[in-house]
Amino acid sequence: MYAIPFHHLVVGLVTGTSTLACISSIVAWLSTYFSNGDRVRIYFDNAAYVSAIAAIPLMPIAVISGTLSMGNPGGDAMSYNKFLFTGLTTGFLLSLIVGRWRFGPNVWLDKRLGVLQGLCAIGALICVTILGSIGGKMSLGKSTMDLIPFWPQFNQSIVLNQWFSLFMFLLGIFAITITFRLGPEINQLSSSDD
Amino acid sequence: MRSRMFVISIVAVLLLAVQGTVANPGGNGDGDRDFNCAGSCHGDPSFNQQSSAEISINSSSESFAGTAYQFEVTISNSELSSNRLLGAFLLSSTNGNGDHPEDNGWNIIQDPNGGTSNYVESVVPSSGSINLVWILETPQESMSTELFVEIHHGASPNEMNRAFFGLSEPHQIEVIPVPENLPGFAADWSAPSYRTTGDTSPIILLTQNTTSVEVLWMLEGESQSHETLVELVEENKWLAHLPATMGDTVIIYQVKTSNQEFEIAQPWLTMGTKEPDFDGTLWGARMQGLASTLIILAIIVNLQAILQPQRYRGKMDHTSIVDPSTVTSPSNTQIHSNEYPDRLVKYDEYPDLLWDPVEEEWVKEPNLDDD
């Protein structure tokens, strides 16, 4: 009974925090191209870091409340795509947080890492926009993407075999473990590392 | 004075509008109507004119009570309005009321436009000829009955603003009792409405009192029918191999059921095409979403490790392989210059050496020499 309003509430929070994280990250990255952008970079870096961390625990709550508020979750292409884009958004946001956590606030000052963080933010922003658009299309029949002259085919989806998805999931866990346990040592960047 | 002019203008506009809307040139839409639309312009002697169209009914004059009956009419007309619209009525009398076939025991299963009306509007192709088919259910009791077709249309040019009408000759139909061994569809069989796009599997036909089945098919809009392969699976169970359809194609097919005594051509049936059913599951979606999270994270964290600046510094720093005996002392001019000492870098690992990044060489710590 309360699943739908609760889902709307959580979706509002998760979309807001994710969008704030992405836009703040992009601004922090772009500020490095301006000679007097240090102060802006520090503000937006903090905003991005905090809002990205806030968005992560809200993601599974949004998925669970969405699953409870739908008749046949995952049973049609639109709701299936919601799961896929939630996964992609979470992946990009987690990458953003990990990068910021491991390299510190000066991650934006390094040319290569700054670009990588910026691309993660752009990827997450695109995925969040698509996610919100699919939700809007399902509940209201309208979406943000109606503004563009074509509607991407979200009523079709790439469905992998369930066992292949399980294999991919296990492969992902293995890859993450190898990366963190056996990967090179990471040190926080100082301002002279740029 | 001004208000009087306003009223006169309004009246003039209304009068002009009446002149411009003789009959209904854009049509009235499909519906259930009696002969001559109960006194429409097409039925009014002061407005109407006899149509020169030829109305030809090509249907059986005998049918079994309570069975499907195909009523087919061909209308050839070279005299049409610019939008080529033609209205056609299927009537069971021409009294002006109670003319609907249902008033005489008939039931309309499907009209030529896919609905269940006795009046339909169609656009006549440039050939000037149109074929209209109503699928009817005959009256439940045996009787002798008749059906008519009436048409309404305009003309271009139409200087006198005439509303044209035409009426066919009555088509006599003898409704006779159903014989016991009449071949037809089984009572529990229903025709499939849709088939999945690209599906080549045959459709199953269930019949009764049937020893032979023939199936004709054509795509919607085609006039030439094709015969398809029919297989007998078991008694009164048949497989008809209709070709696969794609997109929004509509296929229409007719089954002819026969035995030693009767050969019955069943009405044309329609089958649309739909997209395949979605085969995703909730757990599949969850697993695929989680997998994409982890894969994205693994790729980007690895990229971060590859692109980190320390990695490149490690490659460039060869301090550990330098032999201290090969290190040269800076020249006097270098030492006394202000620029030179500033550029030397001190490393804690080598307290008695300094790194000159310009010359890319190790030099002795000058202060140590002084001591």
Least confident of A141-155, B106-120, B207-221: A141-155
Better pLDDT: B316 or B144 = B144
Which of the four pLDDT bands, split at 50, 70 and 90, describes residue B57? very high
Chain-chain contact of B282 with A74 (C-beta, under 8 angstroms): yes
Whether residue B334 has pLDDT greater than 60: no
Cβ of B310 and A187 within 8 Å?
yes
In this prediction, the residues of chain A whose per-residue pLDDT falls under 50 are: 194
Nearest to B297 among A86, A91, A194 (CB): A91
Separation in Å, CA of B177 to nearest CA in chain A: 50
**Confidence check: pLDDT of B356 > 50:** yes
H-helix or E-strand spanning residue B130: strand B129-137
Across the interface, do A73 and B282 touch by the CB < 8 Å criterion? yes
d(CA B241, CA B230): 6
Nearest-Cα residue of chain A relative to residue B282: A74
Chain A neighbors of B288, CB-CB under 8 A:
83-84, 87, 159-160, 165, 168
Residue B328 has pLDDT above 70, yes or no: no
CATH tag, B21-176: 2.60.40.10
**pLDDT score recorded for residue B310:** 65
Is A104 within 8 Å of chain B by CB? no
Q: Residues of B at the A interface (Cβ-Cβ below 8 Å)?
A: 278-298, 300-305, 307-311
Q: What confidence score (pLDDT) does residue A85 get?
A: 93
Q: Which residues pair with B74 in a beta bridge?
A: B56, B131
Mean pLDDT for the stretch of residues B207-214 = 92
Q: What are phi and psi of B115, to 5 degrees?
A: -95, -155
39-68 in A: which are within 8 Å (CB) of B?
63, 67
Q: What is the CATH number of domain B184-274?
A: 2.60.40.10
Q: Closest Cα to residue B165, out of B75, B56, B50, B33?
A: B50
pLDDT at residue A18, rounded to an integer = 96
Section B331-346 average pLDDT = 66
A17 touches chain B (CB under 8 A): no
> Is B300's CB within 8 Å of A95's CB?
yes
pLDDT recorded at residue B227:
93
Q: Is 70 exceeded by the pLDDT of residue B212?
A: yes
**Do B291 and A87 touch, CB atoms closer than 8 A?**
yes
Per the CB < 8 Å rule, is A166 touching B307?
A: no
Q: What is the mean pLDDT of chain B?
A: 82
Are the beta carbons of B283 and A74 separated by less than 8 Å?
yes
Q: Which two tokens stand for residue B21?
A: 């809307």
Determine contact, residues B129/B75, Cβ cutoff 8 Å.
Answer: yes
The reply to whether residue A184 touches residue B308, judged by beta carbons under 8 angstroms, is: yes
Query: Nearest residue on chain B to A77, judged by CA atoms?
Result: B278
Q: What average pLDDT does this structure show over B365-370?
A: 63
Residue A13: per-residue pLDDT:
94
Contact call for B300 and A99, based on CB within 8 A? yes
* Of B42-51, B106-115, B249-258, B346-355, the least confident: B42-51
What does the pLDDT look like over B6-36, one tens digit per residue? 778 887 776 665 544 455 666 778 888 888 7
| Per-residue pLDDT at B371 | 45
Residue A192: predicted pLDDT: 53
Q: Which of A99-108, B46-55, B337-346 has the lowest mean pLDDT?
A: B337-346
Q: What is the pLDDT of residue B21?
A: 46
**Residue B20 confidence (pLDDT):** 47
Q: Give the SS3 label for residue B10.
A: helix
Closest by alpha carbon to B146, among B95, B189, B182? B95
- Contacts of residues B109-114 at CB distance under 8 Å and 24 or more positions apart, as own/partner, are B109/B68, B109/B135, B109/B136, B109/B137, B109/B267, B110/B134, B110/B135, B110/B267, B110/B270, B111/B30, B112/B88, B113/B30, B114/B270
Task: From chain B, pick out residues whose CB is under 8 angstroms from the CB of A187.
Answer: 310
Q: Is B38 a residue whose pLDDT tops 60?
A: no
CB contact under 8 A, B280 and A166: no
Residue B102: name the closest of B32, B152, B178, B177 by CA: B32
User: Taking CB atoms and an 8 Å limit, are B290 and A172 in contact across chains?
Assistant: yes
Q: B301 contacts in A (CB within 8 Å)?
A: 95, 98-99, 176, 179-180, 183
Q: Which of A149-153, B62-66, B75-79, B197-201 has the lowest mean pLDDT?
A: A149-153
Which value does ipTM take for this structure? 0.91
**A to B CB pairs, distance under 8 Å:** 152
